[in-house]
Copies of this chain bind each other. A is one copy, B any other.
Amino acid sequence: MNEQFRAHIEKLSTINDEQFDYILSFFKPKKLKKHSILISEGDTVSYEYWVAKGCLKASYVLQDGKERIIRFAMEDWWISDYDAYFKKNPATLHIECLEDCEVLVLSFDDREKLCKELPEMEYFFRKKIEGAYAAFQKRLISLLSSDAKERYDFFLQQYPMLHKRVSKSIIASYLGITRETLSRISNL
């Protein structure tokens, strides 16, 4: 896992062995069973998670119990309720493991400390969120501009690997449609 994590960081920042050991000391590894819940609505969110193994969903749960998937995470992705984590608001999202998972946990305070002490990490996190922001913009365009079929095709093209790992009901909920509609459009 550590080598995988180091490779992940070195995609954006070059660091030496000593620096990596120091960075790693801020992260706490954690194993989670399928269906484990990392964040529930209303929680104070002090952690974000880097996924070494497994697959998770972050969703908004409606009054009637239906849910909308806000984002997924799998190997090498990060996940949290970022509105709550960055802005110290109560969580609006529910984050749950869709498979058994292994993650590295980072607290907000440690993140800030790491950024202050290591410019390489401040750069890393800045670049990381720039990428996430750009991806979010694309998703928004897709949601505002495309019908269900087009959004599904865009999703398949963007996340072919996810399509094989998560149920169709969950993909439907990511696309903002019902599972019935997805079933109908997916064999067009």
Query: Closest chain B residue to A135 by CB distance?
Result: B83
Identify which of A68, A82, A145 gathers the most chain B CB atoms within 10 Å of its CB: A145
CB distance B129 to A130 under 8 Å?
yes
CB distance B86 to A134 under 8 Å?
yes
A123 vs B143: C-alpha distance when bound (angstroms):
31
Q: How many copies does the complex hold?
A: 2
CB distance A126 to B115 under 8 Å?
yes
A91 vs B62: C-alpha distance when bound (angstroms):
35
Min CB gap A36→B, angstroms: 22
In the assembled complex, A140 has its CB within 8 A of some CB on chain B:
yes
In the assembled complex, A141 has its CB within 8 A of some CB on chain B:
yes
Instruction: For A133, give its contact among B62, B122, B136, B145 (CB under 8 Å).
Output: B136
CB distance B126 to A136 under 8 Å?
no
* Sample (6) of A-B pairs whose CB atoms are under 8 Å apart: A68-B145, A82-B137, A86-B134, A122-B126, A133-B133, A143-B143
